[in-house]
Structure 1
């Protein structure tokens, strides 16, 4: 662990968490049964991490601190498995099993799909003939 690595993770995580907080403030009031802020954070994070992973795999010369800033820090601060889990458990405890299942499907399938789409976007933009 280096000072630059620590600062990269610290800075990225703070920015990602602030974006997640803002998404919750803006989107959660729109549809109280399904917290859209958490969903948006996880879906956006899924897409962006796909883009980041693809870019880093194509550019091995990028400094490791940049990867720490973006993937470990920013994406770690933006996406949230713990909040998602708490929201699903809350829905289950309220007897809203259908909403709980829909929430799980939206987060899991949406995030995986958008991660793949992020990787494909970079390949399409940078590797087209």
Structure 2
């Protein structure tokens, strides 16, 4: 159990650092659309789809590697809390169109990216 916790923590640390680097590379623009969070979350969905596709294809993948890359890296890289906060901020600001675009677009693109990643490696 302790080993698994440390493995997830290591992956989460790396994922969080990667997310921070993406936010530095894609600072907020005047449009109000949270581009960095959107890209991070969709890229994370694609990556987890690819990983689960590979892990199902190669069933001998060590469980520690699965934990490191999915729960750890992808979990630390993507950010549901920031997504939710940005969506609430849009609502509070009265930007209903941006809110709908962001929420619906994120969910649909995320599911399609996950499915696409899975199908790509299967």
Correspondence for 2:10: 11
| TM-score, normalised with respect to structure 2 | 0.94
Residue matched to 1:60: 59
Instruction: Determine which structure has greater relative contact order: mean sequence separation of CA pairs < 8 Å that are 6+ residues apart, divided by chain length.
Output: 2
**Partner of 1:126 in structure 2?**
none
The Cα offsets for residues 14-49 of structure 1, whole Å up to 9 and x where unpaired, read as 111111111112113345501111001100001000
1:11 Cα offset (Å):
0.9
Alignment of 1:37-116 (within 5 A): 37-116=36-115
Normalised to the residue count of structure 1, the TM-score between the two structures is 0.89
Note closer, same or farther for the CA distance 1:24–1:50 as it changes in structure 2 (3 Å cut).
same
CA distance in structure 2 between the aligned counterparts of 1:34 and 1:26, rounded to whole angstroms: 15
Q: Which runs of 4+ in 1 moved over 2 A?
A: 28-32
Q: Where does the alignment leave 5 or more consecutive residues of structure 1 unmatched?
A: 124-129
Aligned residues: 122
Q: Cα RMSD (Å) of the superposition?
A: 1.2
Give the direction of change, closer, same or farther, for the CA distance of 1:77–1:99 in structure 2 (3 Å limit): same
